[in-house]
Structure 1
Amino acid sequence: MQSLDTIEKFRQSLGLSQSAAKIYFAALEHGGATLTELARDAGLVRTVMAKPLNELFDNGLISKRQEGKRIKFYPSNPQELPKLLDRKRAELETLSKSLLQQISAPDKDMQIRWYSGISGIQTAIKEFFGKSLGDFCQFENADAYEFIGVTFGSEIVALRVKNQRKNKLIVIGTREKTGWYQERLARAKDELREVITISDEEYPFSANIAISQNMTIIFEYKQKPFALLIDNPLVAESMASIHKMVWERYAAR
């Protein structure tokens, strides 16, 4: 086992718990080890292994494989550690920009928040669906989640359905262009959604808009990706009125 000083430097550099660091070095010693072997060499009991192991999985520092009837855990190559640090640095830079944008917002009660980049759009969408009140209505481009992530889109849908929040969705495009939305259209009832598709020639929306009782989010993802989150019920009411006019025009067809 490596010295405690080496383990501590490793832990501090990657922001890991002491237990996670000990497990990683125990795995390095073995090259591949069972849970019992890792716990023994790390000086831990098996019942506390889950949390530090998840830390290592989340950071890509360990993997597991089924070998016969046994599960073995393998450490990542130490040569990959600089790449992990680079990824963490990039994530922190994105987070710091997002925080600075919020802190520098002109309105002290933070009614308007600006987010940059695809990761910023994802952060804003999570906040919108997490803090909004009531049901939703949306204008959404048919190719939106090809840019911001189909897995992410599915997670947001699952969160909304779990909370029993309905959605009136206007997809802008044609049925041939809907891509990821084909499944959404097929499962509209199960996912508490009403959907209409409108022409992108008649309504050339390039940005996406979602509205709840108290919040509005506007995001654009193709040129200079950004999201604008507006926490104001009067703005939400006005945007919902526009959505209603378009909805009623097409729903009557």
Structure 2
Amino acid sequence: MKEDNKELLEVIRRCGLDESEAKVYLALLTLGNGTVHQVAKESGLNRTSSYAVIERLKRKGFISNIKKVGKIYLSPINPQRFLQIQKENYANLERHIDDLNYLFTIAQKSPGVRFYEGKEGLKTVLEMIIEEAEEISIYGDGDAFKHSIPGWSEYYSGKRAARNIKSRLLLRGTSDAIETVRKLRRNPSVKNKLSKIRVLPEGYNIVGGFDVYNEKVIFYSFSGNNTAVVVESAIISAMMLSIFNMLWDMAEVYDKTLLNH
């Protein structure tokens, strides 16, 4: 193929033809009209391949048959048609761009889910929370959390305080959790003012938990292999926050009775 035709070949390909189709069409433009044999020779394709490509181009409307002196020749459409097709495609895209943008927006709002496993996975999630959250609602088994990542309960609490993250913790009503709440009530430090803690009555057998902040929910499982599932969804986070708030209000009456003893 001539060097100056390579650029033309690329232009034609960008109009929706594959490489073989572009070569055959360009060969016909060069010839004006031609037989299958002439087209195959000019395009550099073998005769068998040329037949298949020619049939595809006929179906697409880019070449047609003409009869000369009782013989069938192939003829290309005017190249101006490519420009018309591109204009039609652009106009069609403009008509439907709002619909496409709507689908894109909906897809972006679909829940995104990520999984983390093991102690290091949990640490990654907790560090993410520290970096992103301004307020967080935490529900779960504090004792199970301490056993899953030894030493991280105090570290995590300190980091939240250092970042001025407001926290509400709703914990399983174990003796340790109850004692923690009592200590906080007796020591109204700046750190403790950022954290509000309530405990659930006996009967709430929690072995995991969930956190809600921004538009994310993180579900935890502390039994067996530690697992955290991060769900990014405005709808799901709003639903889980409603559940948390309901339990938070239920725990208030219990806490007032419990902590007065």
What is the TM-score normalised by the length of structure 1?
0.49
Structure 1 or 2: more helix by fraction: 2
Larger radius of gyration: 2
What is the TM-score normalised by the length of structure 2?
0.48
